[in-house]
């Protein structure tokens, strides 16, 4: 009988990718405003290109921050610290065009009763979860992220692959069986920016030198990068065999990269930020937006619902949609799709109704439940907003306009499995 196995692919980009540089700047500015004024309303967009950063957006806040200091700190932390990159934190130009938030928007959001705060915009947001991985994420995206997290770690350690530069991309193709479960890693693609670490001489042509560099990078990806990732991830190790296809820098030399090689914009990697193409996406980006913007808070809430529902045993896979009208507190709808993988005796409509009673999806309720009025967003701006490890850390903020602050914050609260018991009780699931 003919096999019905299929292939599915997801991509990721590194913290040095120009679009991610833009995201990280936008979220760092958001965090700085929230640190000094938790009630700040922020919509911050960033463009990065050769030697230049342009920041624009709308802000309502009692805090004053030094946009230039924050921006340069982000760029230097990523690793753009050399003039030869044509984009470095100490020397790049920074143009700020931030202005006051529109009163027309503000009057639709703020209310005398905070719990009746209206949504900051219309739109639909999706959350997704699958039990094919321990963090309830698609394995193709999870592996793609892990490759680039480890590549950045190797670069910052400076002991191996010392030619690495900050910009990089990865792509992972997974073969799924007839039941829709991952069987093996089919293809891995890694493209990484690098130094000109082999120089042309009279004995070799430029093409030969370029081919030698690519060959060395491919050996290092195969022998250093991938083993380090696999050794840290037993689930991925089970899917690896000797038959996978590996492409490394398939176009050849990749010296020119980062914002010098390609202009970067906030919000242009929304699939990398979410589920790698699985489930669905409403189209709204996250970075630079405070939680009154339901593009962000609604998507986090939908992920929180889907992850806890799958973890509780409602279904093996779940998509959750929530939608809003601008200025209206209550969502227009809550939709659930279990893809025929429900494990409870209820229709998807009935599942949605039960979940809607457990989770208050008014914007202010989401903010409070997930503690979103804290400076927690910089950490989400690279390597995905979903599937991350919840943790409590201390963050320090400085400003020439205010006293330094140390704030303890809880990161990735929407990833907490804190509603399993209420969901199991609502669906009469035995633990």
Expressed in angstroms, the distance from the first to the final Cα of the chain is 38
Q: Confirm whether residue 63 is marked as ligand binding.
A: no
pLDDT at 115: 77
Per-residue pLDDT tens over the stretch 373-421:
999 999 999 999 999 999 999 999 998 888 999 999 999 999 999 999 9
Q: Confirm whether residue 289 is marked as ligand binding.
A: yes
Q: Confirm whether residue 169 is marked as ligand binding.
A: yes
Q: Confirm whether residue 17 is marked as ligand binding.
A: yes
Q: Where are the domains of the chain?
A: 6-11+139-257
- The class (CATH top level) of 6-11+139-257 is alpha beta
Taking only Cα atoms into account, the Rg of the chain, rounded to an integer number of angstroms, comes to 23
Block means of pLDDT (10 residues each) for the chain, length 431 residues?
A: 84 98 98 97 97 97 94 98 96 94 60 75 95 97 98 97 98 95 97 92 84 96 98 95 96 93 97 97 96 96 98 98 94 97 97 98 97 98 98 94 93 98 96 72
Per-residue pLDDT tens over the stretch 314-370:
999 999 999 999 989 999 999 999 999 999 999 999 999 999 999 999 999 999 999
pLDDT at 423: 98
pLDDT at 139: 97
pLDDT at 102: 63
pLDDT at 103: 61
pLDDT at 117: 83
pLDDT at 400: 87
Q: Confirm whether residue 197 is marked as ligand binding.
A: no
Q: How far apart are CA 321 and CA 337, in angstroms?
A: 9
pLDDT at 24: 98
Around Cβ 7, how many Cβ atoms within 10 Å?
Answer: 11
Q: Confirm whether residue 301 is marked as ligand binding.
A: no
Q: How far apart are CA 19 and CA 417, in angstroms?
A: 31
Q: Confirm whether residue 111 is marked as ligand binding.
A: no
Burial of residue 377, with CB atoms counted within 10 A of its CB: 0-12 exposed, 13-18 middle, 19 or more buried? buried
Q: Confirm whether residue 285 is marked as ligand binding.
A: yes
Q: Confirm whether residue 388 is marked as ligand binding.
A: no
pLDDT at 368: 97
Q: Confirm whether residue 253 is marked as ligand binding.
A: yes
Backbone phi and psi for residue 204, each to the nearest 5 degrees, phi listed first: -130, 145
Q: Confirm whether residue 395 is marked as ligand binding.
A: no
* Beta carbons within 8 Å of 143's beta carbon, 6+ residues apart: 172, 174, 185, 188, 229, 233, 236
Q: Confirm whether residue 201 is marked as ligand binding.
A: no
Q: Confirm whether residue 101 is marked as ligand binding.
A: yes
pLDDT at 206: 87
Q: How far apart are CA 151 and CA 192, in angstroms?
A: 9
Q: How far apart are CA 98 and CA 175, in angstroms?
A: 46
Closest CA to 185 of 231, 141, 129, 248: 141
Task: Decide if 159 contacts 120 (C-beta within 8 A).
Answer: no
pTM (two decimals): 0.95
Q: Confirm whether residue 69 is marked as ligand binding.
A: no
């Amino acid at each position: 009988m003919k096999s019905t196995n299929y292939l599915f692919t997801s991509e990721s980009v590194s913290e040095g990718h120009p679009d991610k540089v833009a995201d990280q700047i936008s979220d760092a500015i958001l965090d700085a405003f929230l640190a000094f004024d938790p009630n700040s309303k922020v919509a911050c967009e960033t463009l990065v290109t050769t030697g230049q950063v342009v920041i624009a957006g709308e802000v309502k806040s009692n805090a004053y921050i030094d946009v230039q200091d924050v921006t340069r700190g982000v760029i230097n932390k990523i690793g753009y610290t050399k003039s030869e990159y044509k984009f470095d934190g100490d020397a790049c130009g920074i143009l700020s065009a931030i202005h006051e938030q529109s009163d027309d928007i503000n009057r639709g959001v703020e209310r005398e009763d905070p719990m009746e705060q209206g949504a900051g915009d219309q739109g639909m947001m999706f959350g997704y979860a699958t039990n094919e991985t321990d963090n309830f994420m698609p394995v193709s995206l999870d592996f793609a992220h892990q490759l680039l997290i480890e590549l950045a770690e190797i670069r910052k350690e400076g002991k191996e692959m010392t030619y690495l530069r900050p910009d990089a991309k990865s792509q992972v193709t997974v073969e799924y069986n007839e039941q829709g479960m991952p069987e093996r890693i089919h293809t891995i693609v890694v493209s990484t920016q690098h130094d000109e670490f082999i120089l042309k001489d009279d004995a070799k042509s430029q093409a030969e030198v370029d081919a030698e560099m690519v060959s060395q990078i491919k050996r290092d990806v195969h022998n250093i990068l991938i083993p380090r990732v696999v050794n840290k991830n037993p689930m991925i190790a089970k899917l690896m065999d000797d038959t996978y296809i590996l492409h490394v820098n398939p176009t050849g030399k990749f010296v020119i990269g980062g914002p010098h090689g390609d202009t970067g914009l906030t919000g242009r990697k929304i699939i990398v930020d979410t589920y790698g193409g699985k489930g669905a996406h409403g189209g709204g980006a996250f970075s630079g937006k405070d939680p009154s913007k339901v593009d962000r808070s609604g998507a986090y809430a939908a992920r929180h619902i889907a992850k806890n529902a799958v973890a509780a045993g409602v279904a093996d896979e779940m998509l959750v949609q929530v939608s809003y009208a601008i200025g209206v507190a209550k969502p227009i709808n809550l939709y659930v799709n279990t893809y025929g993988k429900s494990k409870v005796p209820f229709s998807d409509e009935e599942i949605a109704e039960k979940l809607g009673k457990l989770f208050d999806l008014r914007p202010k309720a989401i903010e409070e439940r997930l503690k979103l009025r804290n400076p927690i967003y910089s950490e989400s701006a690279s390597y995905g907003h979903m599937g991350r490890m919840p943790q409590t850390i201390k963050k320090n903020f400085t400003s020439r306009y205010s006293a330094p602050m140390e704030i303890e914050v809880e990161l990735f609260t929407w990833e907490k499995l804190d509603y399993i018991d209420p969901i199991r009780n609502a669906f009469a699931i035995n633990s």
